[in-house]
């Protein structure tokens, strides 16, 4: 980037100037603001924890050992869905008593880790998993399990439908629950402690969550009638977040927590939730350097030095993140621009309004990229994944180094 001082924009993330971050670590750079994260954890604690609804963080949104270490010092539980996530959490010292395992196709190694009590319990997705886990566990020391059920609530951002459970691959359909419960009762190796249902992502309305907990409560009544003392219902994650820091929050946590608590009141059950995105998204930003600005046809393309490889979400499902000019020499009036990455694809990151003066060397951040960005990054084009930096109160610390060309080729056997 340019080193001259007369900047028209000179912004910071977590109290650290974007220029300093770019000069220290290079770009693209994935930046996590720990103050923002802690604010969000507090918000969840006040809304859910205060109502005795357990909050777990869905590690799939973003996990690294340093984040696990940070989360270990909070009251959060952690949901892991692979051996890689489990080992990452262990490396960060996250206690096994607060972890549980998810996934609809667990490997033998993952099931053995569950039996070895490297997590507190398993969320069983299907009948085959039930049998495979029971075959590994000793009857003298049963493994705690939940059954994931498919409540048939399919949530879209602004609507939901009851599908009868047949339209998504996850969980055991409600109609098959009684038979699964009979089988669990026959297996002394397993101890059923709860039921689980997660209905989707980026849900901005209250109603699908309430419909889901109603279905879970009905399922719990079936389980209790069959002699299973159900202690807990986990209602999944899926809470939507906004595009940019100034936008209104799509869903009020207080309203959701109050709604869930009210539905379950007097039923003798504990509730849990497991958001990923809503906890981590706002803390994360992706910092890029502008490579070139091109007027072609009727469009103006701003080409960034990242894109598809470090954030596939805009291309995968049209995700939008607010682009913010962090450092630029000259801004000028706003004009339409298409942000693209540098990969050998049409990796458009969206049409936005950006200042006319934006030029090569300026810094742009995509905001609210904390969730499913780094965790979905790839080595497409054999690009290295970016470094990850934690910022807080004007200080910065690298917690994952960026991949070099040597890293990208380290598994090649030639
Ligand atoms: C079982 C389960 N729980 C929780 C989550 C977290 O969802 P979100 O990040 O949208 O809150 C997911 C996301 O896919 C999930 O599959």
For ligand 1, atom 16, which residue shows the shortest CA distance? 198
The answer as to whether 3 is a domain residue is no
Supply angle C-alpha 395, 398, 403, rounded to 5: 155
Read off the CATH number of the domain in which 115 is found: 3.20.20.10
The number of folded domains in the chain is 2
Two tokens, residue 123: 């969320």
From the CA of 393, how far away is ligand 1's center (Å)?
30
DSSP bridge pairs for 352 = 337
CA-closest candidate to residue 42, choices 233, 375, 242, 283: 283
Q: Are residues 195 and 287 in the same domain?
A: no
| Domain endpoint, select from 281, 309, 336 | 281
Q: Are residues 180 and 125 in the same domain?
A: yes
The whole-number pLDDT of residue 166 equals 58
From the CA of 175, how far away is ligand 1's center (Å)?
23
For ligand 1, atom 1, which residue shows the shortest CA distance? 198
Q: Are residues 197 and 338 in the same domain?
A: no
The answer as to whether 413 is a domain residue is no
From the CA of 273, how far away is ligand 1's center (Å)?
10
Q: Are residues 402 and 254 in the same domain?
A: no
Read off the CATH number of the domain in which 302 is found: 2.40.37.10
The whole-number pLDDT of residue 157 equals 54
33, exposed or middle or buried, with CB in 10 Å at 0-12, 13-18, 19+?
A: buried
Q: Give the number of other Cβ atoms within 10 Å of residue 17's Cβ.
A: 18
Q: Are residues 55 and 198 in the same domain?
A: yes
Helix 65-72 × helix 83-91 angle, to 10°:
60
The answer as to whether 390 is a domain residue is yes
Q: Are residues 117 and 259 in the same domain?
A: yes
Q: Are residues 267 and 376 in the same domain?
A: no
Residue written as tokens 């974007």?
A: 18
| Domain endpoint, select from 233, 254, 281 | 281
From the CA of 238, how far away is ligand 1's center (Å)?
6
The answer as to whether 19 is a domain residue is yes
Q: Are residues 14 and 70 in the same domain?
A: no
For a ligand 1 pocket test, name from 63, 198, 204 the mutation site with the most ligand atoms within 8 angstroms of its C-beta. 198
The whole-number pLDDT of residue 159 equals 57
From the CA of 331, how far away is ligand 1's center (Å)?
39
| Domain endpoint, select from 225, 251, 281 | 281
CA-closest candidate to residue 181, choices 221, 215, 223: 223
The answer as to whether 2 is a domain residue is no
Q: Are residues 226 and 314 in the same domain?
A: no
The answer as to whether 1 is a domain residue is no
For ligand 1, atom 12, which residue shows the shortest CA distance? 237
- The Cα–Cα gap between 169 and 146 comes to 17
From the CA of 237, how far away is ligand 1's center (Å)?
5
Q: Are residues 161 and 244 in the same domain?
A: yes
Range of the domain at 57: 34-281
Two tokens, residue 247: 């936008």
Two tokens, residue 45: 């604690």
- The Cα–Cα gap between 196 and 220 comes to 10
Ligand 1 atom closest to Cα of residue 275: 11
Per-residue pLDDT of the chain (414 residues; tens, 9 = 90+): 444 456 788 999 999 999 999 999 999 999 999 999 999 999 999 999 999 999 999 999 999 999 999 999 999 999 999 999 999 999 999 999 999 999 999 999 999 999 999 999 999 999 999 999 999 999 999 999 999 999 988 776 555 655 545 578 899 999 999 999 999 999 999 999 999 999 988 999 999 999 999 999 999 999 999 999 999 999 999 999 999 999 999 999 999 999 999 999 999 999 999 999 999 999 999 999 999 999 999 999 999 999 999 999 999 888 999 999 999 998 889 999 999 999 999 999 999 999 999 999 999 999 999 999 999 999 999 999 999 999 999 999 999 999 999 999 999 999
Residue 411 is given by DSSP the state T
- The Cα–Cα gap between 117 and 176 comes to 28
The whole-number pLDDT of residue 2 equals 41
Q: Are residues 253 and 358 in the same domain?
A: no
* Catalytic residue from among 64, 81, 104, 344: 344
CB 304 within 8 A of CB 269: no
- The Cα–Cα gap between 201 and 206 comes to 13
The answer as to whether 414 is a domain residue is no
From the CA of 170, how far away is ligand 1's center (Å)?
12
Q: Are residues 122 and 268 in the same domain?
A: yes
Ligand 1 pocket by Cβ (under 6 Å): 58, 60-61, 102, 198, 201, 236-239, 274-278, 371
pTM of the model: 0.95
Would residue 235 show up in a list of annotated catalytic residues for this protein?
no
DSSP bridge pairs for 286 = 30, 366
């Amino acid at each position: 980037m340019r080193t001259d001082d007369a900047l028209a924009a000179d912004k910071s993330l977590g109290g650290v100037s974007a220029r300093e971050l770019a000069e220290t670590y290079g770009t693209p750079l994935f930046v996590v603001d720990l103050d923002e994260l802690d604010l969000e954890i507090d918000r969840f604690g006040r809304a859910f924890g205060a109502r005795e609804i357990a909050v777990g963080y869905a590690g799939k949104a973003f996990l690294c050992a340093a984040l696990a270490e940070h989360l270990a010092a909070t009251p959060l539980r952690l949901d892991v869905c692979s051996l890689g996530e489990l080992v990452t959490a262990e490396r960060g010292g996250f206690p096994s008593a607060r972890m549980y395992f998810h996934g609809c196709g667990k490997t033998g190694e993952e099931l053995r880790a569950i039996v070895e009590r490297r997590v507190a319990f398993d969320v069983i997705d299907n009948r085959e998993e039930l049998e495979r886990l029971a075959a590994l566990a000793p009857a003298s020391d049963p493994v705690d399990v939940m059954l994931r059920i498919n409540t048939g609530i399919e949530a879209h951002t602004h609507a939901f439908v009851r599908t009868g459970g047949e339209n998504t691959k996850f969980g055991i359909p409600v109609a098959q629950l009684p038979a699964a419960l009979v089988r669990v009762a026959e297996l002394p190796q397993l101890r059923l402690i709860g039921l689980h249902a997660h209905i989707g992502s980026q849900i901005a309305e209250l109603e699908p969550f309430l419909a889901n907990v109603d279905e879970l409560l009905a399922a719990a009544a079936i389980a209790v009638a069959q002699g299973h003392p159900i202690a807990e219902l986990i209602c999944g994650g899926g809470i939507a977040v906004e595009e940019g820091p100034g936008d209104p929050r799509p869903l009020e946590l207080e309203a959701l927590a109050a709604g869930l608590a009210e539905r379950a009141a007097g039923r003798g059950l504990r509730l849990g939730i497991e958001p990923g995105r809503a906890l981590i998204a706002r803390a994360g930003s992706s910092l890029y350097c502008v490579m070139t600005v091109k007027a072609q046809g009727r469009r103006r393309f701003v080409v960034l030095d990242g894109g598809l490889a470090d954030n596939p979400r805009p291309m995968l499902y049209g995700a939008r993140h607010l682009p913010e000019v962090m450092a630029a020499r000259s801004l000028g009036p706003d004009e339409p621009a298409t942000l693209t990455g540098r990969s050998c694809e049409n990796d458009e990151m969206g049409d936005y309004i950006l200042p006319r003066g934006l030029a090569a060397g300026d810094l742009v951040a995509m905001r609210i990229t904390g969730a499913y960005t780094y965790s979905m990054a790839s080595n497409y084009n054999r690009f290295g994944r970016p470094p990850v930096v934690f910022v807080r109160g004007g200080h910065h610390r690298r917690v994952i180094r960026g991949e070099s060309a040597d890293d990208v080729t380290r598994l090649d056997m030639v």
